[in-house]
Amino acid sequence: MKKLIQLTCIIGLIFTSSCSSTKNINNSEKEEITTSKNIDNTARDGSSFEKAIIVKSIKEEYVYVKKNCINCTMLGQALAYNDKKPFDILRLKNAEGKEVSYYFDISLFFGKGF
């Protein structure tokens, strides 16, 4: 029963994220941002599962993208698993029109409850 509920949630998440509209990522927005402390992401650029940025919240994903993909437009967000570990993949279009993806390791918080 638990697996059925998990599967239903994953399908719902995929369906919801595939229906999302585009969103401009604007660096001029003024937000107080806190990023994960005590996590070493220096060797990680978010270009693959192996180099996924480790985050403690979805907000941190968007903060990273705002800092590293200036004037990008959001195309979509998806949940994926690699070696039974959950990842968020954000697809964007950069200012030159090229599609880029950023991988985020969300295992520190995903599925942990409220």
Q: What is the pLDDT of residues 6-26, one digit of tens each?
A: 555 555 555 445 544 445 555
* Position 114 in a domain: no
Q: What are phi and psi of 109, to 5 degrees?
A: -130, -25
29 confidence band (pLDDT: 50, 70, 90)? very low
Domain membership flag for residue 62: yes
Q: Assess if residue 78 is contained within a domain.
A: yes
Mean pLDDT, range 64-85, rounded to an integer: 95
**Residue 41 belongs to some domain of the structure:** yes
Q: Are 55 and 105 in contact (CB under 8 A)?
A: yes
Sign for the pseudo-dihedral over CA of 55, 78, 31, 47: positive
Q: Is residue 91 part of a domain?
A: yes
Residue 113 domain flag: no
User: What single letter denotes the amino acid at residue 1?
Assistant: M
Range of the domain at 49: 2-105
Is residue 112 in some structural domain? no
- How many structural domains does the chain have? 1
Q: Are strands 85-93 and 73-82 parallel, antiparallel or unpaired?
A: antiparallel
The pLDDT score that the predictor gives to residue 41 is: 75
Angstrom CA distances, 3 to 6, 7, 8, 17, 98, stand at 5, 6, 8, 21, 38
- Residue 110 placed within a domain: no
